[in-house]
Structures are given as C-alpha cells and as structure tokens.
Amino acid sequence: MGAARTSGRSVFLVEDEVMIRMMVADMLEELGYTVVAEAGDIGEAIELAQSTNFDLAILDVNVNGKVISPVAELLAARNRPFIFATGYGSSGLPAEYRDRPALQKPFQIETLRRVIEQALNRTAA
C-alpha cells in the first residue's frame, strides 16, 4: 500500500538497541523505505547526520544515556525532517523539539507509517 508512494524515500535511523533498530528497519522496508544509514551511538550519528543524504531521520531520544539533541540540531540546520522515538512520552523530548512528530515506544507499523507521513507533510508545507 505505502510502497508505491514511498518508493525512493530514504531513512537515517538512530537507535542504540540493536534488536529495536533491526525491527524498525524491517518495518521501514515493509513500508517501502530504504534505510541508507544506521547509528547506535551519538558520535556515529553526528558523523552520519553531516555526511549522509536521506529524506527523513528517525532518532531515538536517549542513545546510550545521552540525549539526541546534537544530532537533531544538525538535522534542523540541514533542513532535514526527523521523527523522535521515545519510551518517555512527549515530556522526554528535548524542549526545543517538542513540536516535532514523535513515536511512543513500542509502536506498530501503522503508527510508524502515519507519523512518517506527518513528518514529510510538515516539511512539504
């Protein structure tokens, strides 16, 4: 269903839990997205955020005990849409990004699809 519309869309995924990262990558592929870069720590995420081209990023809010804010700042500066994934609810988001779309962990594939569309539509507007 979403594959035809999302064909060619690429995603940068930041998640420190390997199994969760694999699960989300599988969901994204099922929805028709291509995961072009993955990071499991802030340093790697910063490097990839600066050097990789992608249509959307999904950022775990807490990566190995560190808040994802430096990566979000880079993406905002590059005018790249991003979504937060958090187990802490919207109160766990960095204050300056509470208006950004967020996925509440754990989430289902349909919720992922809806939040991605919301994020992409936000940047298209």
Residues 86-117: tens digit of each pLDDT? 988 777 888 899 889 999 999 999 999 999 99
pLDDT at 125: 65
State the Cα–Cα distance between residues 105 and 87, nearest whole angstrom.
5
If you average pLDDT over every residue of the chain, what do you get? Answer: 91
CB 17 within 8 A of CB 63: no
pLDDT at 23 over 50: yes
Higher pLDDT, 67 or 122: 67
**Residues 6 or more apart from 67 whose CB is under 8 A from it?**
61, 94
For strands 34-39 and 10-14, give the pairing: parallel
Identity at 50, one-letter amino acid code: Q
Structural domains of the chain ordered from first start: 8-124 (3.40.50.2300)
Q: Output the pLDDT for position 95.
A: 87
pTM, two decimals, is 0.92
Indicate the pLDDT class of residue 53, thresholds 50, 70 and 90. very high
Predicted pLDDT of residue 3? 40
Say what percent of the chain tops pLDDT 70. 94
- Please report, for residues 41, 77, 96, 122, the alpha-carbon distance to residue 21 in angstroms, rounded to integers and kept in the order given: 12, 25, 25, 24
Looking at beta carbons, which pairs linking 67-72 to residues 24 or more positions away fall under 8 Å?
67/94, 68/14, 68/42, 68/94, 69/94, 69/96, 69/97, 70/42, 70/46, 71/14, 71/42, 71/45, 71/46, 72/97, 72/100
